[in-house]
Chain A
Amino acid sequence: MSAASIKESSATTPASEAPLLVVNDLKTYFKTDRGLVRAVDGVSFTLERGRTLGVVGESGSGKTVLSRSIMGLLPKRDVERSGSVKFEGVELVGADTSLMVEYWGDQMAMVFQDPMTSLNPVMRVGKQITEGLRQHLDISKDHANQTALALLSSVGIPEPERRLRQYPHEMSGGMRQRVMIAIAIACGPKLLFADEPTTALDVTVQAQILDLLQTQQRDRYMAMILVTHDLGVVAGRTDEIAVMYAGKVVEKAPTKVLFSNLRHPYTEALLSSIPKISDPSHTRLKTIGGRPPNLINPPSGCKFSPRCAYATDKCRTEEPPLSAPDSDGHQFSCWFPVELSAKQTAGVR
């Protein structure tokens, strides 16, 4: 109990009324030999403590780069990052690495996709947990070890004393992901990124890890950004969902509103292309024609227009802006949004 309570007493940042995270028109471009890749192309949202945002998209939609860009975990070279990321009012775009080091682990932390390659294979698990504690919290070695022990049991690892002395290869994938979560929450961050945290895991273990993330997020009152390609993973576990396509948020809404009242044709197509366990076998799947767009030479107008069943000439020439939130907090960028009755055809359960 550790880390969170220690952190409160030594907190340096005054609690403010403003949202924890305000992202405004964030762009992240990569310079490559073939041209500029617009991986994140103008994303804005705010996130408050205790809330969970799901970021959903297919590979290449920019969802992973978005979370890395917010956290400042980008290559030093050949990257153009512009816009604004305010964390408790402090601007992080353009911030010096020395400032970011204060935030990483302490204020914001990330659980990565692949627990095998994200842990140091030649360092004992205990050391990997206490490393961040000692760096940020100015506590004794003994105290750090005690905290690590408490953390391991709080993430559901049996025999934590023994596990602390083990190396990552001695653990299963699910165990390693629990260790990753323990490391991420060790210093009591206010914002937790989970980037495809369960993609490498089996379905029964996936359910356990998602439960664990949810429990920890609630108990520690963290904000969480859950990045995934699986709409099923975010459906029951997020407050809000942002659907990304070609580096932009194309639809954003509170989770229940999005599923009951989706407006963007891409969200509709994505949902109806997933085989549903409730459908009889051999149900013909609806598909999205074509393939994800090239981010170096994206299509003109709406980026989804070449694959969209409803596209018109206007869609192919003019890019629709993300609409202002309606009374439900629902935003979408489409000239001809799916009508409300579409929820039946989208086949949400």
Chain B
Amino acid sequence: MAGTGKAHLSQGETVLRIEDLFVEFPVGRSGLKVSAVAGISIDVREGETLGLVGESGCGKSTLGKAIMQIVTANSGQVLFGDIELTTLKGEELRQTRPRLQMIFQDPISSLNPRRRVGKIVREGLDIWKIGDEASRQAKVLEVLEVVGIDAEAAIGRRPHEFSGGQCQRISIARAVATEPRVIICDEPVSALDVSVQAQILNLLEDMKARYGLTLVFIAHDLAVVKNISDRVAVMYLGKLCEIATPDDLYASPAHPYTAALLSAIPVADPEVNPTLRGGVGGEIPSPLAPPSGCRFRTRCPLATEKCAEEEPQVQEVRPNHFVACHFPLAEGQDLPALEANIA
């Protein structure tokens, strides 16, 4: 996987523009380093939802946190509008917070259990002294109602009195209260049951339309990402594989990894025999010693020597469809069927 390169970056206006971002974590005292994000360039346009997908360990959450400056990038740039975030510190960085919000995976543990809901949602407004007392209270009631919570009843209660889905609604209310430009959603529905998941996905679409938000939506579930995104980026071991519009990406993936991911999704249709699909065997390699060249080559059925020697660069294979692969799949080309992964 790929690769580096910036062919996919837009020339026009972007809300977020990430270039050559590296995030490394030291491993104990071993002196080794894990590159969780290893040279990613990506942009997010005004008003769009960018989906980030990949399996665990691909760096998608780290990328989200690096945009928020919750983790520090080792090198590279994160441009928010025309502000370079990675060099900001202290008060200057703090000033960007109300415009750049985040929603987390576990809705219950991301709300302070000892605070009342009204206070949780209001805190950002109080800190930023947005409006006066009455308008802050009105805003709290408004955002709670908009996310589908009975505001009058809820403001005096604490998070444990709400279900997971309701807590996620409260988290969304808190995030939109300061009228941000961008919200990073880090696996916001993966802890929820499917019936609640659908409610939250619809709610995020409504919020985006109502408040003119730009979303970065991080998830491992490809069907969820397709549903909500305007563009989808697939990541593997800290690198970008492929980025395209969802309908194009899912109909004809160009990167073998995307194809493998798509074929591994269980389909709720008994007529589809799940054992007769293409796919990949093996597991994600250790990020401590990533493969040379293309990082996906150890599991790729199409890998050649070139893939081991040379890292593929992002290239445009079809209009607005970018892939980092030496041998991208043509439209309609399937991945070779998986050999039995059982010896």
Contacts and interface: CB of A to CB of B under 8 A. Distances in A.
A232 B268 contact: yes
Interface of B: 55-56, 163, 165-166, 193-199, 201-202, 205, 220-224, 226-230, 245-247, 250, 260-275, 277, 279-281, 283-284, 341-343
B17 to A, nearest CB: 23
Contact of B341 (A208, A281, A284, A285): A208
A174 B283 contact: yes
A174 B273 CA distance: 22
Given A155-B342, A255-B270, A277-B222, A285 B202 contact: yes
B202 to A, nearest CB: 6
Counting chain A CB atoms within 10 Å of each CB, the highest count among B199, B229, B267 belongs to B267
A275 B220 contact: no
B267 A236 contact: yes
B267 A204 contact: no
A275 B265 CA distance: 12
A233 B194 CA distance: 14
Contacts of B202: 284-285, 287
B198 A286 contact: yes
B247 A281 contact: yes
9 contacts: A205-B55, A211-B274, A231-B268, A235-B266, A236-B274, A275-B221, A275-B224, A279-B227, A280-B247
Contacts of A348: 268-269
For chain A, give the interface size range: 35 or more
Interface stretch (A10-18, A68-76, A266-274, A313-321): A266-274
A212 B227 contact: no
B269 A235 contact: yes
B277 to A, nearest CB: 8
Contact of A210 (B195, B199, B266, B269): B266
A287 B272 CA distance: 25
Nearest to A230: B266
Contacts of A202: 55-56, 220, 284
Nearest to A232: B266
A285 B227 contact: yes
Interface in A189-220: 202-208, 210-212, 214-215
Given A205-B283, A291-B163, A349-B268, A237 B194 contact: no
B61 to A, nearest CB: 14
A1 to B, nearest CB: 14
Nearest to A238: B270
A276 B283 CA distance: 25
A349 B246 contact: no
Contacts of A291: 163, 165-166, 196
A349 B269 contact: yes
Contact of A281 (B166, B199, B246): B246
Interface string A141-158: 000000000000111101
Contact of B195 (A204, A236, A273): A273
A58 interface: yes
Nearest to B196: A291
A277 B284 contact: no
B250 A275 contact: no
B226 A204 contact: no
B235 to A, nearest CB: 13
Nearest to A307: B195
Contacts of A236: 266-267, 269-270, 272-275
Contact of A274 (B223, B226, B246): B223
A259 interface: yes
A208 B269 CA distance: 18
Contact of A232 (B165, B201, B267, B275): B267
B337 to A, nearest CB: 12
A235 B223 contact: no
Contact of B270 (A172, A203, A259): A259
A154 B227 CA distance: 39
A329 B122 CA distance: 55
Contact of B228 (A175, A208, A256, A281): A281
In the A-B complex, the 10 residue pairs with the closest CB atoms:
A232-B266, A202-B55, A273-B198, A285-B198, A288-B195, A275-B227, A207-B264, A281-B246, A236-B274, A58-B193
Given A206-B264, A277-B222, A235 B195 contact: no
A235 B55 contact: no
